[in-house]
Amino acid sequence: MSLPKLALLTALLIVNVAFVAAWIRRAREHPTRERPTVGDVLIGFGTDFLDALGIGSFAPTTAIYKLRGSPADELIPGTLNVGHNAAAFTETLIFTTVVAVEPVLLATMVASATMGAWLGAGVVGRLPRRAIQICMGVALLTAAVFFVMANLGAFPPAGSAMALGGWRFAVALAINFALGALLTIGIGNYAPSVVLLSLLGLHPLAAFPIMMGTCGIVQPAAGLRFIKSGRFAWGPSLGLVLGGVFGVMLAVYVVKQLPLRVLRWVVIVVVTYAAVAMLRSASARQAVAIEH
C-alpha cells in the first residue's frame, strides 16, 4: 500500500474515532434523547443502498424527511452528515482499496474537501431556519438537474486518466474544496464530482474512490461540528447508521447493479417535489415575518 493511501486510511480511522467519541459524550449529556424508529432504519437502509450504487443518499433522504415532515428542516443538514457517516466509512474502505486511482491525487482531494467541510459546517450550524430551507431547496433542485443530465446522457465524455497534473490538479483541488463545503448543506458530491472530474480528463472509475474518500472523512469532520452545536436529530441519525451499513453491503456484494435509469426518474420526481415544498416553506416563513 502506498504512503498517501496509508495516510488517508489512517486519517479516516482517526477522524471517525473522534466522531464516535464525541457522539457518545454528547449522548451521555442528553439521556432523554429520542430513539430511532423502524422507519428511520429503513430510510437509512434504502438511501445508502442507492448511495453505493452511485445515485447518492443526501437528496433522497432530504426528500423523504420533507415529505414525512420530520425532522425539522434546520436539523436536516446535521442529520445527513451525522447519520450517513457510518455508510460513508464503509464505502471508503471498499472503494479506496479496490480502485487504483493515483494515491497523491486521492489523498489531496480528500484533504481539500475536508477543509471545505469544516468551514462549511461552522457556517451552516449558525444559519437560521429559513436560510437552511432555501439552501436545501436549491440543493434538491441541483441534485434533480444532475439526475436528469445522467438519464439523458448529457454528462461530458468520459476521460481516461487515473491521475491529474499541473493546472488540472490545482483546479480539481479547488473544486473538491467547494464540494466539501456544499456537502454540509445537503448537496451531495457524487454527480458534481463525476461531471467536473470528467471535464478535467479523469476516468469516471477514478472518481469513485475520490467521492467515497471525500464523504468518509468530510462527513465525520462536519459531523463533529454539528454534534457540538446539537443541530441534528438523534433518532433519525441513529436510524441512518443502523440501516445504512446494511444497505451498502447489500448493494456492493449482493445486488451490484439495478436499472439505475428507472430509479433516477423516480428519485427525480420525489426530489423535485420536496424541493418545491422546502422553498414554499421558506416563502411562507418570510410572509409571516413580514406580517409581524
pLDDT per position in the chain (292 positions), as tens?
Answer: 667 677 878 888 898 999 999 999 988 887 767 889 999 999 999 999 988 887 778 888 988 998 898 898 889 888 998 999 999 888 888 877 766 677 788 888 888 888 888 787 777 767 777 777 787 788 778 778 877 887 787 766 666 777 788 888 898 888 888 888 877 776 766 777 777 777 788 877 777 778 777 888 888 888 888 898 888 999 999 999 999 999 999 988 876 666 767 777 877 787 787 778 778 877 776 654 555 4
DSSP string, 15-47: HHHHHHHHHHHHHHH-TTPPPPPHHHHHHHHHH
The single residue listed with the C-alpha cell 499541473 is 166
pLDDT of the residue at 257: 64
Alpha helices in 30-128 (DSSP H): 38-52, 58-68, 76-83, 85-98, 103-124
155-87-207 Cα angle (round to 5): 30
Check residue 99 and give its pLDDT.
64
Number of domains the chain contains = 1
Distance CA 197, CA 28 (A): 42
pLDDT for res 292: 47
CA 243 to chain centre: 16
Domain holding 40, by residue range, is 3-26+34-291
Please give the Cα distance from 152 to 117 (Å, whole number).
31
Residue 174: count other Cβ atoms within 10 Å of its Cβ: 12
| Whole-number Å distance between alpha carbons of 57 and 64 | 11
In the prediction, which pLDDT does 119 show?
81
Query: In one letter, which amino acid is 282?
Result: A
Residue 272 main-chain phi, psi, to 5 deg: -65, -45
DSSP 8-state code for residue 254: I
187: closest CA among 175, 199, 197, 198? 175
